[in-house]
Chains A and B, each alone.
Chain A
């Protein structure tokens, strides 16, 4: 289905930057898991090894997905949507919990974090929907239906509860309707409504634990040994790293176990402490490079579906990075969200490589219409 000559449209930089990020992540995971694996790498069970194995698998996934025409995804969009919703409902019914929320589906020995997979699926569905309505994109109906498509899975994720991923859904939708060209008035009215409803959300919809998280975020010193502990310790870790960091595996905060989930949500604190500002800027540079390769794919896409799909993927990665890092450096309240490519966690990593594959798929086909 792919003509060989189109292979020169394959963007190796996307795969390379994904792999470099994943390797960077494995280094940090290695350092962060030394308190649990003091003897270092002894086998394939070590989380850093697992991370590398999944990343390697991820490269294969990129090629497989790239080979598949992304437009096929558009055609089965309703099915994809159904699968996404089924996973999110399933996780609420039979999912396993950790850290106070239900997030995992156990299937055949694998533990899948449903919302990580659902994120990409919903972006595909939204892209298809908006692409099919390029002409009536400025109509209120398009706007409202697109909002509904995003809102249903978002509510399901909120019910887990997983505020962070819900925000990613919201951000991806918002970015996609802007790029698709929805009427600015609609978007502004919607945003104004959202802002005004914040107090009601806080009082009505939010669970106690989410309200508590926000209260603790605003004043972690009030409870330095309880809820405020991880906020303060993450901040101390990053701050104490300075410009050059304390050196990999030499961060006292990390190695003395002051960080909670240092291989997942708080892996940026490990980076900040051990590799310092230099390490963080290198990470940012890698992400910015990858995101711009993603935007390039959006620009070159042969059709609105591809363009919106690429945009959605870029926004998804961008916001995940921003929210995760912002939580680590006390710019945002605690929300459990992994740092793309860096945090340990198979569902997230595989989903990201699938997303990279979709970007490649878009690129591979962009010149087919140019005779």
Chain B
């Protein structure tokens, strides 16, 4: 047999066998090795599977389950007649979750996505890389916003083959009334890093939207609703396989404004027509009994839709660089000298304090003089706008005599006439709501400024002079008010003494149309003025429109009480004149006041610009308006 050929060798190995048998120490070593090695493995397995099983199971669950936020549908904003001012429209967004990209083939994913979105794949790679650098690879990064429907459909088909890529459908705000109500409704925008940090515990997500201005900001909590949650099972590529548990999102509640959109439109038209070349103008219409703001216009406006989609830097710069500051709501956020419109307050204070009666007659020679306290040879002149002659209280208001109100405010020491003095005047001004926030439901309100001696001392380091009181009395000098404060004060005169909180919201409804909350008048305080004197002031204001300096506010067939003002501001020109703001504030009808209106035109006049604009508004409101059925009536 062939394999027995090497017989000598076979014999030798025979001898070797004698050394080897019985089983050598060495094979015993091998047996021991088997037990040692399997022992090591078993020990490690026992450690992992018996002693640390909880920690590993937690990690496995964490792998498997992903908690997803389900964003609620944001509530809408309606005007007082139920006209929607905003809609939720679908916005398609392509996002990538970096952690879910396939490790080796991510470039392939970028390339294919780039093809669909028609953008360079390097840009996509860069965005993903940035996200990774942030250290949050599990958060989705927006690759492209506002996809058109066709692209969105193509992408939707492709996403199963593009791990890590997702098509998101989000609701975007479309503001149907745009510029017309942008200062009131405001806008939502992408949540900023700081906002995210503070809002995260309340269910906001990284790519969330949050109210940034106007009602959208002030009523964020109402409009947003409650986010829902989904507990989903995902595979290693992040594909969602199954929703294990879900808590539905609770849609936001809707807000009904007190604004009348049609009136808003008419007020805007009137302002546009009479503002001339002014940079900005504003008007507010208020219900004198409820404090409801029926219209609030600030020009120039802006299109808040620019913000609900991502605004470009160019568009933002354009808005910021316009002289009229379109992003600012001039009705509440800026303060101006009220000029002669403030004589209403000076007059009421004088009547209430007994400084003057309706019959007090003062003669205007066109100016008033005050001697310097220390050097009587120095005499200061305070001018009237004309030598108006002898006037009683009504005429003083109607003709808007400065001298008349110099007397009432600062007195005339050499004639023995005692004025109110700055302290009492300031106190009355404050009781009418000047110098404090009105509490309107908008962010960014200015409190205005009511000066007094202490304030001047603290801020200017100077003592208060009687000349300061004169200026104060006619609404010049340091005094500054917002248009809203002015119309609010006049509404108080018109309604018999209740200082109301100006309101923009009438009702909040849930998504089924059930009323959650409705709001009525809120009286902040009763002004400390006898109603008889308020009546005197209303009559004086009626005369001002009827036969006085505010006659350009006259509307045929309507009795209006009003007060115009032309407030000087800024530096004196070489010819001794100043730039002026034009004001008109009034109420109507005189017999049974319903609304109060303020119009402010920057670099305008009360008579030429503001009063006629107000007349247009009154005329529309009482004569042309299609009267909406009062709420609740059939």
Report which A residues bind B (CB closer than 8 A).
35, 69, 71-72, 75, 131-132, 134-135, 175, 178-179, 181, 225-226, 229, 233, 235-243, 252-253, 256-258, 272-273, 276-277, 280-281, 284, 287-288, 291-292, 295, 298-299, 302-305, 307, 311, 314-315, 318, 322, 325-326, 329-331, 369
Q: Which of A72, A295, A330 contacts B3 (CB 8 A)?
A: A72
Q: Which of B26, B38, B60 contacts A178 (CB 8 A)?
A: B26
A299 near B56 with CB under 8 A, answer no
Return chain A residues, CB-CB under 8 Å to B49: 238-239, 241-243, 272, 276-277, 280
A304 near B16 with CB under 8 A, answer yes
Complex CA distance for A132 and B55, rounded to whole angstroms: 55
Q: Which of A229, A239, A315 contacts B48 (CB 8 A)?
A: A239
Return chain A residues, CB-CB under 8 Å to B50: 242-243, 277
A335 to chain B, nearest CB (A): 16
Complex CA distance for A305 and B241, rounded to whole angstroms: 57
B236 near A257 with CB under 8 A, answer yes
- Given the interface pairs A134-B12, A238-B48, A256-B64, the reply to whether A325 lies near B34 with Cβ below 8 Å is no
B48 near A329 with CB under 8 A, answer yes
Instruction: Verify if B379 is at the interface (C-beta below 8 Å from A).
Output: no
A304 near B13 with CB under 8 A, answer yes
- Given the interface pairs A72-B3, A242-B57, A256-B233, the reply to whether A329 lies near B41 with Cβ below 8 Å is yes
B27 near A299 with CB under 8 A, answer yes
Complex CA distance for A257 and B163, rounded to whole angstroms: 13
A179 near B30 with CB under 8 A, answer yes
A258 near B33 with CB under 8 A, answer no
A225 near B24 with CB under 8 A, answer no
CB closest residue in chain A, given B99: A225
- Given the interface pairs A236-B63, A240-B60, A303-B13, the reply to whether A291 lies near B34 with Cβ below 8 Å is yes
Instruction: Verify if B89 is at the interface (C-beta below 8 Å from A).
Output: no
Complex CA distance for A225 and B50, rounded to whole angstroms: 27
CB closest residue in chain B, given A253: B60
- For the complex of A and B, the 3 pairs showing the least CB-CB separation, nearest first, are A239-B56, A134-B16, A240-B60
Instruction: Verify if B246 is at the interface (C-beta below 8 Å from A).
Output: no
Return chain B residues, CB-CB under 8 Å to A302: 17
- Given the interface pairs A134-B16, A181-B26, the reply to whether A253 lies near B63 with Cβ below 8 Å is yes
* B1-46 at interface with A (beta carbon < 8 Å): 3, 6, 9-10, 12-14, 16-17, 19-20, 23-24, 26-27, 29-31, 33-35, 37-38, 40-42, 44-46
CB closest residue in chain A, given B33: A318
Show 28 A/B contacts (Cβ-Cβ < 8 Å), sorted by A.
A69-B3, A75-B3, A179-B27, A181-B19, A181-B26, A236-B60, A236-B63, A237-B60, A238-B56, A241-B49, A243-B50, A253-B60, A253-B64, A256-B64, A258-B236, A277-B46, A277-B49, A280-B41, A280-B49, A288-B38, A292-B31, A295-B27, A303-B10, A303-B13, A304-B16, A329-B45, A331-B40, A331-B44
Instruction: Verify if B195 is at the interface (C-beta below 8 Å from A).
Output: no
Complex CA distance for A233 and B17, rounded to whole angstroms: 50
Complex CA distance for A294 and B17, rounded to whole angstroms: 18
A196 to chain B, nearest CB (A): 24
Return chain A residues, CB-CB under 8 Å to B236: 233, 256-258
CB closest residue in chain A, given B44: A329
Complex CA distance for A91 and B45, rounded to whole angstroms: 36
Complex CA distance for A329 and B233, rounded to whole angstroms: 25
* Interface mask (B436-468 → A, CB under 8 Å = 1, otherwise 0): 000000000000000000000000000000000
B24 near A181 with CB under 8 A, answer yes
Instruction: Verify if B234 is at the interface (C-beta below 8 Å from A).
Output: yes
Instruction: Verify if B59 is at the interface (C-beta below 8 Å from A).
Output: yes
Complex CA distance for A236 and B137, rounded to whole angstroms: 21
Instruction: Verify if B423 is at the interface (C-beta below 8 Å from A).
Output: no
Complex CA distance for A237 and B63, rounded to whole angstroms: 11
Complex CA distance for A347 and B379, rounded to whole angstroms: 117
A240 near B59 with CB under 8 A, answer yes
Return chain B residues, CB-CB under 8 Å to A181: 19, 24, 26
B289 to chain A, nearest CB (A): 66
Instruction: Verify if B427 is at the interface (C-beta below 8 Å from A).
Output: no
- Given the interface pairs A272-B49, A277-B46, the reply to whether A303 lies near B38 with Cβ below 8 Å is no
A101 to chain B, nearest CB (A): 15
CB closest residue in chain A, given B16: A134
Q: Which of B16, B27, B234 contacts A135 (CB 8 A)?
A: B16
Instruction: Verify if B53 is at the interface (C-beta below 8 Å from A).
Output: yes
- Given the interface pairs A179-B24, A304-B13, A325-B41, the reply to whether A256 lies near B235 with Cβ below 8 Å is yes
A135 near B63 with CB under 8 A, answer no
Return chain A residues, CB-CB under 8 Å to B48: 235, 238-239, 329
Return chain B residues, CB-CB under 8 Å to A236: 56, 59-60, 63
A299 near B23 with CB under 8 A, answer yes
Return chain A residues, CB-CB under 8 Å to B61: 252
Q: Which of B19, B35, B46, B60 contacts A252 (CB 8 A)?
A: B60
Return chain B residues, CB-CB under 8 Å to A291: 34
Return chain A residues, CB-CB under 8 Å to B108: none
A277 near B45 with CB under 8 A, answer yes
Instruction: Verify if B103 is at the interface (C-beta below 8 Å from A).
Output: yes
* B346-362 at interface with A (beta carbon < 8 Å): none
CB closest residue in chain A, given B26: A179
A190 to chain B, nearest CB (A): 16
Return chain A residues, CB-CB under 8 Å to B67: none
Complex CA distance for A281 and B14, rounded to whole angstroms: 40
A226 near B34 with CB under 8 A, answer no
Return chain B residues, CB-CB under 8 Å to A304: 13, 16-17, 20
Return chain A residues, CB-CB under 8 Å to B12: 134-135
Return chain A residues, CB-CB under 8 Å to B64: 252-253, 256
B3 near A239 with CB under 8 A, answer no
Complex CA distance for A329 and B44, rounded to whole angstroms: 7
B493 to chain A, nearest CB (A): 70
Instruction: Verify if B52 is at the interface (C-beta below 8 Å from A).
Output: yes
Return chain B residues, CB-CB under 8 Å to A280: 41-42, 45, 49
Complex CA distance for A131 and B53, rounded to whole angstroms: 49
A62 to chain B, nearest CB (A): 21
Return chain A residues, CB-CB under 8 Å to B59: 236, 239-240
Return chain B residues, CB-CB under 8 Å to A277: 45-46, 49-50
Complex CA distance for A22 and B61, rounded to whole angstroms: 31
CB closest residue in chain A, given B10: A303
A319 to chain B, nearest CB (A): 8
A367 to chain B, nearest CB (A): 13
A317 to chain B, nearest CB (A): 10
Return chain B residues, CB-CB under 8 Å to A131: 13
A307 to chain B, nearest CB (A): 7
A134 near B13 with CB under 8 A, answer yes
Return chain B residues, CB-CB under 8 Å to A241: 49, 53
CB closest residue in chain A, given B46: A277
A129 to chain B, nearest CB (A): 13
Instruction: Verify if B372 is at the interface (C-beta below 8 Å from A).
Output: no
Instruction: Verify if B322 is at the interface (C-beta below 8 Å from A).
Output: no
